[in-house]
Structure 1
Amino acid sequence: MADSDRDEPQPTPFPIRIVHDSPPPPPSDIDNLPPPGPIGKRTDQFYEPWEKFLAIEPSRGQRLSRPAAAVAAEQAEVDHSPGAEGKKVQENAATSWEQAAECCRKKVAAIVEECRRLNQKYRDAIFDLEASPWCLQSLHGRFPKAVDRIEAPPWIKRVEDIFDNPQFFIDGATAQDVHQGSGGDCWFLAALMAVSAKKELIDQLCVARDEKAGVYGFVFYRDGEWIYEVIDDKLFLRVGDDDGLTIVRDWDRDKKEGMGLKHPDEEKLLSQLQRGGEALYFSHCKSSETWLPLIEKAYAKAHGDYYAIEGGFASEAIEDLTGGVGVVINPEDIMDKDRFWREQLSLVNQKYLFGGGSKPTSTKGFIGGHAYAVLKTWEEGDLKLLKLRNPWGETEWDGDWSDGSKLWTPAMMTKLEHTFGDDGVFWISFIDFLKHFPSINRVRLFNKEWQVAQQWTSVNVPWTVDYLDTKFQFSIAEKCPVVIVLSQPDDRYFYGLRGRFLYSLHFRVYKEGEEDDKWIVRSMHNSGNETVFTRSVSVEIEDLEPGTYNVVFKVTAVRTAAAMTAEESIIKFAVERKEKLLNVGRRFDYAQTKGNLRAMEDTNRKRKVKGRRDEKITMFKKSRKITQREKERARGRKKRVDDAMREKKREYEHRRRGKEKARRGGRDCESTDAQDGDGKSEEGGQAGSVTPLTEESPAKEVPHVVAGAEKGDGVAKADEAPVPGTEIEQKVEKVGESVEDRKKAAESGKQAEESDKPSEDSKETEDATNALSKNLSKLDLRGTRRSSRTDPVSPLEEEDYDSPVEPPEELDDDDFEWDSDLDGPVEYDSDDDFSRRNSAQGSKNEIFADDPWNAICVLGLRVYSLNAVAKVKVVKAEGSS
């Protein structure tokens, strides 16, 4: 049951209050820990800081230390499991208990032999109540709520110094022996009462003991296997030998004050207060029996300290004591109440064990938020009754069939063997039980006829909740009853290192190949009443057909931002609480090794590194492709400009030749007329004369065609007009005369042989033409952008450049398709920009950019089958984790 019972005033066996006169201990920073400070990016990884903590641990210590050796053996077993996904077990349900019991007996025997040889009682160095404050406190320094710092138990004594005639059992363990002390573990005591109703179950808990040597060995069920713990017989007392006592009446619990009284014999009072079970600070029996406080101490040691067993669910405690499967049932969800009574509740102490959790508020004699044990049931006709007990040993139900009820008759008292008295035992009707207990704790028991197969693994839990790619698969060869349990490690064993994440589980079962159809069954029951604190979910199938089945599951993770991560706890407590950290860390390591958490964290770390490398490679490839496309565009632009200019030059040359031809034709006519009329020679003009340039004349363009000529070679520069009488002008004139001569020869029909042979003048003309063409081709127009559309081939005049082709600058990009990488805005230019871009996706894809979500859940599937063997394996999809 939940831990709210710890806030209620605890029963005291004394009619008066005993107050210690000794001053309270000085305040300690242990109770007021500052909140964890930021350590870079907060990471919930465990093994990297844990390995640093153990960096200088000697190898011999790893071999000889029982916790370290257990972790090493567990890891070796995981490594040899198929697939190395996690621990794999297939055995009889009782096999694990037998192995743990045998190991426990051997250890106790070795201790007894040593104690007898040395004539010394056993002292548990690991869980020494006198030497270590960490038997009461958690790793974070928290005490049990019922343990006030001022009133913390100051004295420890051995059993023989507390009891006159101590006995482990007197006529066996019974529910009436259980009385809750100052601890908040009513859920565990309720489970003990339920288990004590079935004698063989309580007997299997303490497998070895030697009262004279003061050594006791117990076994408990944890995470799919039985473990053992060995303790000494030291126990906490309420009053110490050196305490100055004051008797106080009307004690105010909150103000811690009252009316003081005097006692005539203080030493006698002190002796009385230190004797018997009522002298114990925690749970006790009213008789001289010692089994209850010792098993409570062993359970606290198994979890690390007394604080760890504060608050819980009776169903999970019964699991720990029996190896069964516990669930919590809400009475409102029971469809057929009579069927529930007939098939389940009436089978208490046979097939099932039951407990109940009361409502949060106290009513009708019930303690609010308290755990009760169901001891037995009785039915006659329509009357259905249950026998319950309060772990306090007092305070009972006051409704129908209570001790003061008028429904009792002598005949009914005889039938039910009931006696009146405020001993915490009472009867209640089935209807009232369902009404006043919103949660019913039920545990199914297993005997040697049951087989169990289990497989553990670890998975990355996504932020969004959905069924994972990883699944479990089990097969069974015969039709039989089956119980399927999906569980995670019990984090009660490693308080302080569980980090910020809490996980809830859910699964469905499908017949293989029928995943698209309706599921066969799904998990309907949690092991605890609160889903987020539940360590397992389960389902029962009374007759499962043989075949192969897939168990698909989802894990819901809740992260508490204010909690300390495992890394922060290790760094914070590595020095001041080294021994406690080592103890808790070993337990965490052992529990998580089942699912091979170390390998999962390594895989995630490597995947993260590879992801960053792949991102950079992707960036480089993208940059290279962008560069290639830019070069392709540049080549395309260059080709378009070259093609356009080549066409322009061709058109221009064609037009120039046409104009030259027309000009030479008119010039020849004028020359002929002038010779005929004036008697001048064919060459026309005097030596050194210059032909005037007209609009039709391209002579202005010739110097630009031969641009680049050096000084002194007889050729004018590109930006200069031709000098009269130079060689280039003479060659141009000879070109025109040669053309006219050939034209006249063709028109007159002369076919003289000398017309086919080039004359000296024609050779000179041809050389000049070739030079003009060669220099024209050297004009560098490739890929050059023009500053004006009206001057694409500057300095040619616009009227001489009337080409219908568009100017080159308009051909740059109009035939390229849109490319977001080239034409869109630049997203990032550096590694920092790239990181910011990835972080910027937080508003869209990455919510935890500054504090990564790295939830890893270790979980296992157990399949119990009656008289049949089941096989379980984990199946991970390719690339999943």
Structure 2
Amino acid sequence: MPFLACLKKKKSPVPLGKSIFQKHTPATQQNYQALLETCLKNKCLFTDDSFPADISSIGTGALLRKLPRNLQWKRPHALHRSPVFYPANRKQLDLRQGLVENCWFLAALEALTFQQDILAAVVPQSQSFERRYAGIFHFRFWHFGEWVDVVVDDRLPVTEVGELVFVSSVSQNVFWGALLEKAYAKLYGSYEDLQIGQVSEALVDFTGGVNTRINLAAAPHDLWDILTRATYSRSLMGCQTHLGVTCQGGPEYLVRLRNPWGKIEWKGDWSDSSYKWELLSPKEKILLRKKKEDGEFWMSLRDFQIHFVDLVICKLTPDLMSQEDGKKWMYSLKRGRWVKGSTAGGSLRCCNGTFWMNPQYWLNVLPAEDSKRSLGSCNVVISLMQKPSSKHRNRAPHLFIGFSLYKYQESNKKLPPAFFTQHRPNRHQIFLDEREVTQDFHLEPGVYVIVPSTLEPQQESEFILRVFSRKHVLREMGGNSSFTLSKEIVDRYEGKIWEDFFTKYFEQNPEINSVQLQRILNNISWRSFQSFHLRFSLDACQGILALLDLNASGTLSIQEFRVLWQRLLFYLEVFQKRDTNRSGKLDLVELHAAVQETGISLSNEVCNLMAIRYGDPDLKISFESFVCFMLRVEIMGEAFRNLTQDGKGIYLQESEWMMMTLYS
């Protein structure tokens, strides 16, 4: 059974982004068919300006130092007299790693070659260098919950003698691997962004499947049965090892592996030159043994468990561990976000006082009608995936993420803080600094609550929650019944109507100034304030804009405004909850409680000073002032964390000090 082996490397620390308000706009998908027809009509070769043939597409860091002198970009027709996009012969699919240290990607890519129909979905087979050739190619990837089509031109980086710098095929005239690597690099920012990763990530990106990770040092007793079922269910498999594999052990069952480098093989029992082959019948030996230094080799299952760390199985159907083969499974996906001060409550063991703030999802596990085990437990797979804010996948390290699962009674209301102090989760929380955390459960039919979280509080990221089972219902849970926004605000400004309204507004005004911001905020019916008319002054709007305006343009984009809008709704909830007498103002005691409610820790002295700065003569804070106060607290705190080197202090040049104090 085939495996793709990969060396395991740890990510190096990378500086975090500058601010939660720093926006990342996903690249617009290009229309492959329209671009192809245009090039054919104009009799020209496609040039992709969104991923140009220059250093910017390769990267900005250490990879540049590895590049050969006189790097050039050439199309396959300039490299071989008869280039082939995709070979008819399976043996010609073999690839070689280039300068990018992305054996994890190459291992997943070669795993695809064992499943031709899956490979054809990622690599459309109708493309060629002959019929309707226009220098344009496209590939399909599952990217954070949706399939995207990535278009590239066929200009590839080569040495001055015409050798490919990155992934190449063993057959020099075959180019599908090099072009697919280019498309994947474009999807994630640059070639350099492919240097560090895990085979599990690429397997999911190629299939949209769900991963099972098995620690081989503590593998289940039925590992061989799991591998057999994975093979017959057409799952993709990969494994990882530490650097420095040595040889020892004795055979039990045999597994076949392939090193994505295309060379360096196992030298122990059942290797190409091992005496063990003489123990087999001539027929078995002919069918299994290969005496080639091509990176493909056999190992015993025992040696496999000794020398490899993790086994990753990417399942296209999640029934691998349940043995319910051939049954129908349903799949649900929910998108969410951890927002500092709002929904980034951290883990239960690190900060149980704010854990309740995390998003909560109501899961009703139902017995499947056609299941023989309908009266017993149901197999449920839950997967949590974090989505980085930057297109460049290695610009920031993964957060430690995980989720808790609770048995619960029928309810649509969000669980209150007290619930989590009185109940324990279904299983001990696992937090990993990886893109995706997946767990298999055997659950009795009934209602459960899933709480995804980061390990530490106040960490921000988008996430995707996926649930697989024979039959279930999944939905996000709402706020506490004792405290909700008015129905009009929810309906008009959090749903599709809100999105349509502001999208149309920003189509006419792509960037808004402080006067326009004031007009928008003051035209909103803040019906939740029953006792007075809420107004935002121009001075307050100018202060808000200065805090959120990253490039000092004096305007806000729609992305920046969306972030502001979510903060306003959150601040409104906190303000109303602490304004117990509905006066429209917070006194010092209420202000302290409101700040604590947001999950931010401030000393009494700072709160008192801010009340003097933003409050009225009686040191009472209006909602308008509370917004300005909280935005300043959050953004200045973020600025400190980004500027400090040791967490204790910062050093600023005079120009930086003036910018922070005057324009914020």
In the superposition, the TM-score normalised over structure 2's length comes to 0.60
Aligned match of 1:134:
56
CA distance in 1, matches of 2:286, 2:101: 35
**Pairing 1:23-42 to 2, within 5 Å after superposition:** none
Matched, 1:114 2:38: yes
Q: 1:124 aligns with which of 39, 45, 48?
A: 48
For residues 616 and 606 of structure 1, what CA distance do their matches in structure 2 show?
12
Contact 2:107 2:238 in 1 (8 A): yes
Distance 1:444 1:827, change over 3 A: closer
Q: How far is 1:348 from its partner?
A: 2.6
Alignment of 1:216-365 (within 5 A): 216-239=137-160, 273-274=161-162, 279-287=163-171, 288-334=173-219, 336-337=220-221, 339-344=222-227, 347-348=230-231, 350-359=233-242, 361-364=243-246
Cα deviation, 1:838-871, whole Å, max 9, x if unaligned, reads: xxxxxxxxxx99963699xxxxxxxxxxxxxxxx
1:604: how far off?
4.9
Task: Give the equivalent residue in structure 2 for 1:831.
Answer: 609
1:296 Cα deviation after fit: 0.5
CA contact (8 A) 2:214 2:310 kept: yes
Give the AA of the match of 1:364. Answer: T
Pick aligned residue for 1:165 from 82, 93, 99: 82
Instruction: Determine if contact 1:353/1:442 at 8 Å carries over to the other structure.
Output: yes
Aligned to 2:469: none
The answer (yes or no) to whether the contact 1:222–1:320 under 8 Å persists in 2 is: yes
Over 3 Å counting, the alpha-carbon distance change for 1:150 and 1:522 in structure 2 is: closer
TM-score (structure 1 length as normaliser): 0.46
- Are 2:465 and 1:539 equivalent residues in the alignment? no
- Is residue 188–residue 312 contact of structure 1 (8 Å, CA) maintained in 2? yes
Corresponding position: 1:493 with 2:391: yes
Out of 551, 560, 563, the position equivalent to 2:450 is 551
Displacement after TM superposition at 1:491 (Å): 5.7
For residues 221-245 of structure 1, what are the alpha-carbon distances to aligned partners after superposition, in whole Å with 9 as ceiling and x for unaligned? 1112211101111111022xxxxxx
- Selected match of 2:295 from 424, 446, 452: 424
Residue 719 of structure 1 is matched in structure 2 by none
Contact in 1 for aligned 2:84/2:128 (Cα 8 Å):
no
SS in 2 for 1:407: helix
Q: What is the number of equivalent residue pairs in this alignment?
A: 469
- Alpha-carbon distance in structure 1 between the residues aligned to 2:305 and 2:227: 14
For residue 468 of structure 1, the aligned residue among 356, 366, 372 is 356
Query: 1:606 Cα deviation (Å)?
Result: 6.0
Looking at structure 2, the residues matched to 549 and 559 of structure 1 have their Cα atoms a distance apart, in angstroms, of 25
Equivalent in the alignment of 1:582: none
Aligned to 1:510: 407
Matched-pair contact (CA < 8 Å) for 2:404–2:425: no
Change (3 A) 1:392 1:153: farther
- Report deviation, 1:284: 0.7
Provide, for residues 435-464 of structure 1, a one-character-per-residue CA deviation record: whole Å limited to 9, x for no partner.
111122221113995432212222332464
What is the CA–CA distance in structure 2 between the aligned matches of 1:571 and 1:496, rounded to whole Å?
23
Deviation of 1:305 after TM superposition, in Å, equals: 0.8
Q: What does the per-residue CA deviation read over 1:399-457, in whole Å, with 9 as the maximum and x for residues that have no partner?
A: 11112211113737635433212111111111111111112222111399543221222
CA distance in 1, matches of 2:169, 2:301: 29
Given that 1:511 and 1:549 are in contact with CA atoms closer than 8 Å, whether structure 2 keeps it comes out as yes
CA contact (8 A) 1:45 1:601 kept: no
Contact 2:344/2:457 (8 A) holds in 1: no
- State the partner residue of 2:336: 457
Contact 2:380 2:441 in 1 (8 A): yes
Q: Secondary structure at the match of 1:112?
A: helix
Deviation at 1:151, TM superposition (A): 2.8
1:452 maps to a residue whose letter is Y
* Conserved? CA contact 2:384–2:438, under 8 Å: yes
CA gap 1:413/1:423 in 2 versus in 1, 3 angstroms: farther
What SS does the corresponding residue of 1:468 show, helix, strand or coil?
helix
Partner letter of residue 39 of structure 2?
C
Q: Is the 8 A contact 2:212 2:439 kept in 1?
A: no
CA contact (8 A) 1:509 1:520 kept: yes
Gaps of at least 5 residues in structure 1 are 8-32, 37-41, 55-65, 71-103, 240-272, 367-381, 561-566, 575-584, 623-825, 838-847, 856-881
In the aligned structure 1, how far is the partner of 2:351 from the partner of 2:384?
17
CA deviations 1:50-87 (Å, max 9, x no partner) are 49xx9xxxxxxxxxxx946x7xxxxxxxxxxxxxxxxx
Give the drift of 1:493.
3.1
Paired with 2:448 and 2:10, the residues of 1 have a C-alpha distance of: 42
Q: Give 3-state SS (helix, strand or coil) of 2:447's partner.
A: strand
Contact kept, 8 Å, 1:3 with 1:311, in 2: the verdict is: no
After TM superposition, list the pairs within 5 Å mapping 1:65-144 onto structure 2.
67=27, 107-130=31-54, 133-137=55-59, 141-144=60-63
Higher gyration radius (CA) = 1
Give the distance between the partners of 1:318 and 1:347, measured in 2 at CA.
Answer: 14
| Residues 465 and 555 in structure 1, CA contact (< 8 A), matched pair in contact too | no
Aligned to 1:198: 115
* Corresponding residue of 1:264: none
Contact kept? 1:205, 1:218, Cα under 8 Å: yes
- Deviates most, 283-292 or 207-216: 207-216
C-alpha separation in 2, matches of 1:510 and 1:433: 38
Q: Letter of the 1:289 partner, please give it.
A: V
Counterpart of 2:473 in structure 1 is: none
Give the superposition deviation at 1:603.
Answer: 3.8
Provide the rounded CA distance (Å) in 2 between the counterparts of 1:522 and 1:328: 17
Q: 5+ residue gaps in structure 2? A: 1-5, 319-326, 369-377, 412-418, 460-545, 592-603, 620-632, 641-664
Counterpart residue identity of residue 342, structure 1: D
State the Cα distance separating 1:112 from its structure 2 match: 2.3
Equivalents in 1 of 2:247, 2:11: separation in Å?
A: 17
Q: 1:509 to 1:611 in 2, by over 3 A?
A: closer
One-letter code of the match for 1:831? Answer: L
What is the rounded CA distance, in whole Å, between the counterparts of 1:355 and 1:569 in structure 2? 44
Number of the residue aligned with 2:105 = 188
Higher relative contact order (CA 8 A, sep 6+): 1
In structure 2, how many angstroms separate the alpha carbons of the residues matched to 1:5 and 1:494? 17
- SS of structure 2 residue aligned to 1:231: strand
State yes or no: 1:396 paired with 2:318.
no
Aligned-partner Cα distance in 2 for 1:196–1:829: 62
Report the counterpart of residue 256 of structure 1 in structure 2. none
What is the Cα-based RMSD across aligned positions, in Å?
Answer: 4.7
Deviation track 1:357-397 (CA, whole Å, cap 9, x = no partner) reads 111x313279xxxxxxxxxxxxxxx8311111111111111
Quote how far apart the aligned CAs of 1:539 are: 2.1
> Is 1:619 matched with 2:588?
yes
Match in the other structure for 2:543: none
Matched, 1:435 2:306: yes
Deviation at 1:217, TM superposition (A): 1.3
Aligned equivalent of 1:45: 20
- Residues 458-486 of structure 1 deviation map (CA, whole Å, 9 limit, x = unaligned): 23324643443431112354426432212
How big is the shift at 1:608?
Answer: 8.4
Q: 2:345 touches 2:453 (CA, 8 Å); kept in 1?
A: no
CA distance in 1, matches of 2:312, 2:570: 39
